[in-house]
Structure 1
């Protein structure tokens, strides 16, 4: 069973839109997840625009991939590297720690993550 950043069973990040590398609603990861989609983040307009400017369009619906496009307030499993880029740019979205995979801690300390906890 996958664990979150607290070492507890991981919670669902979002069922709609359905998120996760494995599209099971959870920010689980494995050897085939090269992007390490482990951070359950709450989207903001600023982050979505930032991601778009970095070449990852999370806004535009893609029906062929059953992707509705994201809006502010949606929860989504982000690549840990994209979240870290947004953090360095000063626009990192808040995180649902209970739904963020423990692998995130290989890249960002729990101390830093807690500062962005969605409450």
Structure 2
């Protein structure tokens, strides 16, 4: 009889997604307030954005597969993250749309840290 593989624990992915998002927001805020000049390495902000999207997607997919409620809590963050490239980056709208993902990333992180209820599945 083969043993069924347990899904990977999703909590580290939620943490990684939240850290990538926080780093991206911190860099964006520093650039907007002119504390940092990224004109020579603008790709760092883009790389952090890609990391945020990729880790958020991985957390949602892994969370759904392991039946974790945190996945559904994090899922709405996909909407503002997906909209950012299409709404322009040099307007007031950019940080507002980016910050719209914050409550879902924070809630997903917090819910992922709470122990899940025991299941009847074997």
Fold shared by both chains (TM-score > 0.5): no
Structure with more strand by fraction: 1
TM-score by length of 1: 0.26
Q: Which has the higher contact order (CA 8 A, sep 6+)?
A: 1
